């Protein structure tokens, strides 16, 4: 597990490149070690109170396919599922969907 390594590198990057504050945009967050699209979207939602996309983890990915909300043949990764969900799911549900689906993991 590389989480400790990522945390140490991230804290140094935040200190030197962002004046100690976490960035508030996807490209900057995605440049941090260990941060992927799901975590970046969730961080923006919680940390900055903004919803720029759906935080899709393996739970949202699998459950949305089982419900027929996404096509499992076309959406083989969580990121593909995110794009498919954002294309039709009303914006008002983008923020709560991760927390709702994780409970059904």
pLDDT at 105 over 70: no
d(CA 42, CA 39) in angstroms, rounded, equals 5
pTM: 0.87
88 phi/psi in degrees, rounded to 5: -135, -25
- pLDDT on residue 42: 95
Region 79-83: mean pLDDT is 97
Residue 17 host element (H or E): helix 3-17
3 tagged catalytic: no
Average pLDDT over residues 10-27: 95
Distance, in Å, from the CA atom of 46 to the CA atom of 79, rounded to the nearest integer, reads 20
Residue 54 burial class via C-beta count within 10 angstroms: exposed 0-12, middle 13-18, buried 19 and up: buried
Measured at the alpha carbon of residue 42, what is the angle toward residues 37 and 45, in degrees to the nearest 5?
A: 130
Residue % of the chain over a pLDDT of 90:
90
Sign of CA dihedral 79, 17, 19, 16: positive
> What pLDDT, on the 0 to 100 scale, is given for residue 88?
96
Crossing angle for the helix pair 58-66 and 78-88, to the nearest 10 degrees: 60
pLDDT of residue 102: 84
Active-site option among 9, 15, 38, 73: 38
């Amino acid at each position: 597990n590389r989480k400790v390594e990522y945390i140490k590198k991230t804290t140094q990057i935040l200190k030197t490149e962002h004046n100690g504050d976490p960035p508030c945009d996807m490209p900057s967050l995605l440049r941090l070690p260990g941060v992927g699209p799901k975590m970046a979207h969730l961080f923006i939602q919680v940390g900055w109170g903004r919803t720029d996309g759906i935080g899709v983890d393996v739970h949202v990915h699998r459950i949305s396919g089982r419900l027929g909300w996404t096509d499992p043949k076309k959406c083989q990764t969580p990121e593909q599922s995110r794009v498919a969900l954002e294309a039709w799911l009303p914006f008002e549900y983008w923020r709560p969907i991760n927390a709702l689906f994780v409970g059904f993991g």
